[in-house]
Amino acid sequence: MVIKRIGVLKAGVIQACVMALFGLIIGLCFLMFGTMLAGLTGGGSNGSAAVGAMGMLGGIGMVIFLPIMYGVMGFLAGVIGAAIYNLVAGMVGGLEIEVE
């Protein structure tokens, strides 16, 4: 079996979904560390509670922002990668895969 062509938009959508999931995982890590920062700063009178709240809000923002950013960049990378593969596969004949 030889793969001679890859659907450009389909590859972009698949790559966008995979990268959005990675962005969600990384955003959840930011949220976890932001929440830890909020817990570590306590409620002192020197404004440390505000710093902790900003860390937690930053983590929540990352859970929203990173999957969107990673998804868009993943889509672009998938589309460009599939287009380049199609161009090169047309010259050299494609990728051979052996299946049973």
Residue 45, pLDDT score? 55
Q: Is the pTM of this model over 0.75?
A: yes
Give the tens place of pLDDT for each residue, 8-43: 999 999 999 999 999 999 999 988 887 777 777 665
pLDDT of residue 2: 83
pLDDT digits (tens, 9 = 90+) for 46-69: 656 676 677 778 888 889 999 999
pLDDT at residue 52, as a whole number? 67
Alpha-carbon distance 64 to 96, whole Å?
40
Q: Contacts from 80-88 at CB under 8 Å and sequence distance 24+?
A: 81/11, 81/15, 82/6, 82/7, 82/8, 82/11, 82/12, 83/8, 85/6, 86/5, 86/6, 86/8
